[in-house]
């Protein structure tokens, strides 16, 4: 009998979601009859020892828990509306620390006009936050991973790499405003957020769109090294493809790093095929 460790995170997700009816990638997008909007739903866990260390500032833990879910909405060009947070903690958890976690959580939500409307508290062996989000997007306009075509340009919205080393993974700003603008401007063909590293996440677009890509290391905006940008993850910038150049009066930073090719799922860096190497849950 196969285990999660045998097949890995991505194969497990594919198997478990094979028969789901919702359309979407970073979020589930559900059509609502008679409404001008599609319903957008997402969820994300944040687990001590996996996503943050015990000595992380509690306000930053809350910020990251909310930010990961808000980044999912940004990846679809959606407007977040409501969040619920379930807390799992041992009985020895410090209440003051927990209050500071909530303060960091709600401060970021307020910045994006998103209401925290409920949740639950349960005892468990480790401190965990499980966040569920509800949002919306004008009907039929959600940005998916499957629209990239040969000749499209590839962009990111900010510097990549070294997020764990610099602490950015705890303090990043989810690109909700940028995601909405990119949806409204109409030139984006595919989009997602960068949580697992440029090389891994770009391959998700290539797989969904049945295309390839070539990127140039000199064009990648960096916070760290090229290696870190490709494989570290947790940058939470947006990665997207576009058929035309952004408008000259674009008021958000956009960095063109390469282009889409017709070779399905072949990713090259500076002309050489890029190796597959990235963090994956359940894999060593």
pLDDT surpassing 60 at residue 22: no
Q: Are 86 and 129 in contact (CB under 8 A)?
A: yes
86 within domain boundaries: yes
Tell me, yes or no, whether 15 and 104 share the same domain: yes
Task: Report if residue 104 sits inside a domain.
Answer: yes
Decide if 14 is inside a domain. yes
* DSSP notation for 21-85: --B-SSSEEEE-TT-SEEEEEEEEEEEBTTTB-TTS-HHHHHHHHHHHHHHHHHHHT-EEEEEEE
* Together in a domain, 195 and 111: no
Which pTM does this prediction carry?
Answer: 0.91
Are 45 and 71 found together in one domain? yes
Q: Which two tokens stand for residue 127?
A: 């401190």
- Looking up tokens 């359940």 gives 282
Decide if 166 is inside a domain: yes
- Of 197, 177, 194, the C-alpha closest to 185 is 177
Burial of residue 237 (CB within 10 Å: 0-12, 13-18, 19+) is: buried
Same domain, 28 and 92: yes
Q: How far apart are the first and last CA of the chain?
A: 19
pLDDT, tens digit, 9 for 90 and up, residues 53-89 = 999 999 999 999 999 999 999 999 999 999 999 999 9
The whole domain housing 49 covers 4-138
pLDDT in tens, 220-278: 999 999 999 999 999 999 999 999 777 556 678 899 999 999 999 999 999 999 987 65
Same-domain check for residues 167 and 261: yes
Tell whether 36 is covered by a domain: yes
- My answer on whether 15 and 129 are in the same domain is yes
pLDDT at residue 46 tops 80: yes
Assess whether 162 and 129 both reside in one domain.
Answer: no
Residue 282 has pLDDT above 90, yes or no: no
- Find where tokens 């499980």 sit: 130
Phi-psi region of 221 (alpha: psi -120 to 50; beta: other; left: phi over 0): beta
Q: Are residues 117 and 29 in the same domain?
A: yes
Q: Is residue 282 part of a domain?
A: no
Closest CA to 184 of 115, 261, 251, 133: 251
Is 133 in the same domain as 31? yes
User: Range with the lowest mean pLDDT among 15-19, 137-141, 275-279?
Assistant: 15-19
* pLDDT of 20 over the 60 cut: no
Residue 278 in domain: no
190 contacts 144 by C-beta, under 8 angstroms: yes
pLDDT at 245: 76
Alpha-carbon distances of 182 from 44, 74, 284, rounded to whole Å: 23, 10, 37
Q: Are residues 15 and 99 in the same domain?
A: yes
Asked if 268 and 274 touch (Cβ cutoff 8 Å), the reply is yes
Percentage of the chain beyond pLDDT 90 is: 82
Q: Which of 111, 138, 165 is the last residue of a domain?
A: 138
Please indicate, yes or no, whether residues 8 and 131 belong to a single structural domain of this protein. Answer: yes
Q: Vertex 159, ends 104 and 281: CA angle to 5°? A: 65
Write the CATH number for 194. 3.90.650.10
- Residue 83 domain-assigned? yes
Q: Which of 103, 138, 173 is the last residue of a domain?
A: 138
Question: Domain total for the chain?
Answer: 2
Q: Give me the pLDDT at residue 283, please.
A: 55
Which stretches of the chain are DSSP H helices? 4-16, 58-76, 95-111, 163-166, 168-171, 176-185, 198-209, 226-231
Domain stops at, among 108, 138, 168: 138
123 and 162: one domain? no
Q: What's 85's domain CATH number? A: 3.30.1330.10
Cα–Cα distance, 38 to 264 (Å, whole number):
31
């Amino acid at each position: 009998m196969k285990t999660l460790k045998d097949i890995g995170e991505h194969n497990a997700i594919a198997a478990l979601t094979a028969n789901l009816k919702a359309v979407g990638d970073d979020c589930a997008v559900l059509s609502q009859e008679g409404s001008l909007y599609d319903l957008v739903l997402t969820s994300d866990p944040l687990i001590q020892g996996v996503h943050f260390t015990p000595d992380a500032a509690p306000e930053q833990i809350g910020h990251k828990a909310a930010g990961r879910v808000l980044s999912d909405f940004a990846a679809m060009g959606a407007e977040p509306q409501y969040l619920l947070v379930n807390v799992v903690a041992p009985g020895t958890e410090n209440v003051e620390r927990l209050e500071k976690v909530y303060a960091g959580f709600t401060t970021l939500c307020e910045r994006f006009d998103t209401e925290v409307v409920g949740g639950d508290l349960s005892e468990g062996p480790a401190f965990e936050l499980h966040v569920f989000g509800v949002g919306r997007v004008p009907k039929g306009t959600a940005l998916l991973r499957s629209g990239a075509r040969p000749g499209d340009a590839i962009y990111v919205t900010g510097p990549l790499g070294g997020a764990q080393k610099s602490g950015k993974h705890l303090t990043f700003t989810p690109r909700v405003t940028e995601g909405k603008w990119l949806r409204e401007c109409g030139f984006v063909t595919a989009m997602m957020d960068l949580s697992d590293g440029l090389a891994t996440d770009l391959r998700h677009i290539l797989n969904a769109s049945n295309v390839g890509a070539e990127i140039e290391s000199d064009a990648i905006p960096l916070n760290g090294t090229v290696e870190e940008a490709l494989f570290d993850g947790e940058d939470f910038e947006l990665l997207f493809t576009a058929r035309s150049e952004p408008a000259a009066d674009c008021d958000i930073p956009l960095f063109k790093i390469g282009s889409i090719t017709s070779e399905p799922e072949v990713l090259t860096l500076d002309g050489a095929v890029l190796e597959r190497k990235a963090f994956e849950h359940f894999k060593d």
